[in-house]
Structure 1
Amino acid sequence: MWNNITAAPIITEIPSEAYVVLQKLAAKWTDILDARDLSLEQLKGAMTNKVYACQWERDNGNRPRKVLVRVYGGASDLFFNRADEVLTFERMSQKNQGPRLLGRFPNGRVEEFLRARTLTAVEMRDSKLSQAIAVKLLEFHQLDIPGTATIKLWDRLRDWLRKALILSPTEQSLEIGLNKMDLEIADLEKRLSRPGEKIGFCHNDLQYGNIMISEKDDSITIIDYEYASYNPVAFDIANHFCEMTADYHSDYPHILDFSKYPDMEEQQRFVKTYLEASGQEVTDREIESLMSEVEEYVLASHLQWALWGIMSAAFSEIDFNFMEYAQQRLVEYHRLKRVLFLCGSSNN
């Protein structure tokens, strides 16, 4: 999971193997006087890896050559298989999605530095940008990524629960209900799984820091595929809607404002744009059906990121109140579940 990336006011170091890759890469450029003469700046906002901007001054007066260096986080393997993530990145690069892969070293990689910026929390709710995101998300979901197109969500929740139980003290586990969450996951899988639901290659973490807008033409690019996998497309949309309640650059970045969850008009506009991006005629019934599925998959999103927060609280050094974040997601999960399944379905 990522925040909006901003430059930190410090110069730092990267693994020596990364310098070797960078110098070999720079040696291919004839407008750089010395491949070893590079400047490095850590970028703030990444919550899984360490990310750096690396640049070389050019001898022709043009703006510097620039690449992005990603050093993998030490505990990231708790959340996803790094080998699978690297393979996904390479395949996305081959399909001209996101930045190109420029080089690899044992604990990281070098990527193209996109001439674009990440969105802000406010911009993600802009109607014009939101519709552009919907169109791009359908394109993402339709990507033919090699592998079995089976749902990853439920196995991931069970895997994260198992790890969260190991990492959490017994008293804490009882307090937040981890000891009963296996029943919640099983119940939710039974309620939400339905024949014929649309499965696609999902991003699974579509928050504003993972959405970039081009400096050149305002086109949208989706980046960072650590959590990407095949899943119900309704889950991906639900997760995106949930991210509209977050502002990771506020004074209290872990606090969610659920009053900012998109209203019915915003949801309908997004879903309608998403479905129409296929080029097919879309009926009101199809829009309402997908909206209903999205509403229910919000529950799965709350469980996923609650478990993420609980696990992260055990090892992360990032200044972010992971446990309070997780508790908010769990409280909202139980509230919404009562509304949907005990009081009858209703939109947020």
Structure 2
Amino acid sequence: MCSIITFPLLNQTFPTFLYEFQTLSASDLHDPDISALIAAKMKEFHGLEMPGPKDVSLWHRLRNWLKTAKSLCTPEEAKDFRLDSIEDEISLIEKELSGDQSIGFCHNDLQYGNIMVDEKTRSITIIDYEYASYNPIAFDIANHFCEMTADYHTDTPHILDYSKYPGLEERQRFLHIYLSSSGGLPSDIELEQLLENVEKYKLASHLFWGLWGIISEHVNEIDFDYMEYARQRFEQYCLRKPALLGSSGPPLM
């Protein structure tokens, strides 16, 4: 008798003898063929119709995580990470990104460990829906691009290498495949607008996982330097904010 793989949120059940799933590695995200499969699967995923309200969860979750981080941190940690200033940063990017956005069912954590490929059929399966919710699709894509800087299977899994962030050509190729995967060719304007939105939502991704890192330091026992991870995400936020939003202000750290 074959065993069964069930993905409850997608309401799908697969007999394992038909599939040879393998989790991706960090380098796989930069493989053009695999990246194309991921882009098409993301477009399909974002079109899923899930029960319940379809409101954007990003801003509420950021503010909720900020409140939790403040409650867990020591006064020294809160001062070090300038937590009192992050509410203003959340409001700033929410206002900047409050225009007409494409909303879809987003994974919100599309790192390589949450993507599997069938070696025979070359089909992609997305797993682990702990953070899934409706959000701007540009946030989900931006988050995936940021995950290209990570390799969680090294001696220093918390260290991010931003030289591995996809360059302009790689980002354009991914977004072109994403937009065209459901049929038709995107216009240059459509492609450029999504490219711009994704880059701006990179800022939200940095705050999202920076706050996650601070919280995780206090509630998780996994051997991972969550605070250093959070520091890197906040540093990237400060580095990228002036170019992406045209404003600087005081640094978070």
Do the structures match in fold with TM over 0.5?
A: yes
Correspondence for 1:132: 37
- Residue 114 of structure 1: how far off its partner (Å): 6.3
What letter matches 1:224 in structure 2? D
8 Å CA contact 1:68–1:113 kept in 2: the answer is no
After TM superposition, list the pairs within 5 Å mapping 1:32-181 onto structure 2.
90-92=8-10, 94=11, 96=12, 115-181=20-86
Q: Is 1:271 aligned to 2:175, yes or no? A: yes
Report the Cα distance in structure 1 between the residues aligned to 2:4 and 2:47, rounded to whole angstroms.
Answer: 29
Identity of aligned residues (%): 52
Correspondence for 1:62: none
Structure 1 residues 113 and 281, CA gap change in structure 2 (3 angstroms): closer
More helix by proportion, 1 or 2? 2
Structure 1 residues 315 and 112, CA gap change in structure 2 (3 angstroms): farther
Larger radius of gyration: 1
- Residue 216 of structure 1: how far off its partner (Å): 2.4
Report the Cα distance in structure 2 between the residues aligned to 1:304 and 1:230, rounded to whole angstroms.
Answer: 15
1:280 to 179, 184, 192: 184
Report the Cα distance in structure 1 between the residues aligned to 2:102 and 2:187, rounded to whole angstroms.
Answer: 16
Post-superposition Cα deviations, 1:249-293, rounded to whole Å, max 9, x if no partner, equal 111100000111000000000000000012123111110110000
Unaligned runs of 5+ residues in structure 2 are: 249-253
1:317 to 211, 221, 242: 221
Report the Cα distance in structure 2 between the residues aligned to 1:112 and 1:318, rounded to whole angstroms.
Answer: 33
More strand by proportion, 1 or 2? 1
RMSD of aligned alpha carbons: 2.2
1:226 to 101, 119, 130: 130
What letter matches 2:188 in structure 1? D
- Residue 150 of structure 1: how far off its partner (Å): 1.2
What letter matches 2:87 in structure 1? D
Structure with larger RCO (C-alpha < 8 A, sep 6+): 2
Unaligned runs of 5+ residues in structure 1 are: 1-28, 30-64, 70-88, 103-110
- Residue 90 of structure 1: how far off its partner (Å): 2.5
Report the Cα distance in structure 1 between the residues aligned to 2:247 and 2:66, rounded to whole angstroms.
Answer: 28
Q: Is 1:336 aligned to 2:240, yes or no? A: yes
Query: TM-score, normalised on structure 2?
Result: 0.92
Correspondence for 2:139: 235
8 Å CA contact 1:152–1:230 kept in 2: the answer is yes
What is the total number of aligned residue pairs between the two structures? Answer: 248
What letter matches 2:147 in structure 1? E
Structure 1 residues 151 and 179, CA gap change in structure 2 (3 angstroms): same
Q: Is 1:193 aligned to 2:111, yes or no? A: no
